[in-house]
């Protein structure tokens, strides 16, 4: 993977149908994705073999893990280790944007 940098705001793309996934980088051991969710959209809790780190950049919502809901806002950093259930919902009135860095 070649080192890259950019302004995430130039990469934001929302979809009326579902949460939108924008690929930022894809390396041998990790990948970075920008997720863009309109109000009311969500990513159902799910499990992966690798670790995930999410950094909320814009908007408000809830991190979903099992039965738990944890409020998130810009600046929130979430870490889901391999095998941990994780999802998110946009509960705000504006778009929810976060970066996901996945390893494994």
Tell me, what CATH number does 36's domain have?
A: 2.60.120.10
Q: Round to whole Å and give the CA distance between 58 and 81.
A: 23
Residue range 5-52, pLDDT digits in tens: 889 999 999 999 999 999 999 988 899 999 999 999 999 999 988 899
Q: Would residue 12 count as lying in a domain?
A: no
Q: Would residue 84 count as lying in a domain?
A: yes
Q: Would residue 7 count as lying in a domain?
A: no
Q: Would residue 32 count as lying in a domain?
A: yes
Q: Give me the number of domains the chain comprises.
A: 1
Q: Would residue 88 count as lying in a domain?
A: yes
Report which listed range, 41-50, 61-70, 71-80, is most confident.
71-80
Q: Would residue 61 count as lying in a domain?
A: yes
- Domain containing 97 equals 22-103
Q: Would residue 97 count as lying in a domain?
A: yes
Q: Would residue 4 count as lying in a domain?
A: no
Q: Round to whole Å and give the CA distance between 69 and 33.
A: 22
| Beta-carbon-side half-sphere exposure of residue 98 (alpha carbons within 13 Å) | 31
With contact defined as beta carbons under 8 Å apart, do 23 and 8 qualify?
A: no
Q: Does the pLDDT of residue 1 top 60, yes or no? A: no
């Amino acid at each position: 993977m070649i080192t890259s940098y950019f302004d995430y705001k130039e990469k934001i793309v929302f979809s009326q149908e579902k949460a939108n996934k924008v690929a930022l980088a894809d390396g041998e051991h990790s990948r970075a994705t920008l997720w863009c969710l309109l109000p009311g959209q969500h990513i159902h809790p799910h499990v992966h073999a690798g670790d995930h780190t999410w950094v909320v950049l814009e908007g408000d919502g809830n991190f979903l893990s099992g039965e738990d809901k944890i409020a998130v806002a810009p600046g929130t950093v979430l870490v889901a280790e391999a095998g941990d259930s994780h999802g998110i919902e946009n509960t705000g009135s504006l778009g929810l944007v976060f970066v996901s860095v996945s390893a494994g």
